[in-house]
Amino acid sequence: MTNREFFIQTWGMEAGITQRLLNAVPENNTTYRPDPKARPAIELTAFVAGHAPLMLMLLETGDIKAGPQAPPKSIKEAAGVFGAVLPKLEKALKGVDEKTWEQKIGNIYGPDGKMFQSAPIGMLVWATLFDLVHHRGQLSTYLRSMGGKVPSIYGPSADDPGQM
């Protein structure tokens, strides 16, 4: 199995987990934050969901250009961004060849336009996934305090026995 094939397999699992978590964020407390330094729930939800469009941008253009986004009107709208792009992203992942995955250099630019990272596309796709998983973990800690239930992520939670 190649690195790209392993990523596609891993992404299939992680995308489902992420969608379940995004769907579990309660709509009734969009401004919730566990600490003044933390992002509000709606902003963090949008940030997590926004990783899929950024990954698609990387595969289609060779670059991720992060920039300010219009704030979503609801948790459902924020979470919907993720699911809406999944079919295109899955097609793009399956369509990239091994040489491009391993050798084509891509770039990540921050909101200020400065280059953050330059590396092979495959490495940047993995880095984007790891960043998504990190922020998804942050978002999962919001749910109970917001009155929601934590879905199974890598195993059962106190709220969800999971699909073992």
Phi-psi region at 147: left, alpha or beta (left = phi > 0; alpha = psi -120 to 50)? left
Q: Which of 51, 61, 53 is nearest to 100 (CA)?
A: 61
Domain boundaries, the chain: 3-146
Tens-place pLDDT, residues 10-33? 999 999 999 999 999 999 989 999
> For the chain, how far is it from start to end, CA to CA, in angstroms?
24
Give pLDDT tens digits along the chain (164 positions): 999 999 999 999 999 999 999 999 999 989 999 999 999 999 999 999 999 999 999 999 999 998 777 889 999 999 999 999 999 999 999 999 999 999 999 999 988 888 888 999 999 999 999 999 999 999 999 999 999 999 999 999 999 998 65
pTM of the predicted model as reported, rounded to 2 decimal places: 0.93
Q: Which CATH topology does 3-146 take?
A: Four Helix Bundle (Hemerythrin (Met), subunit A) (1.20.120)
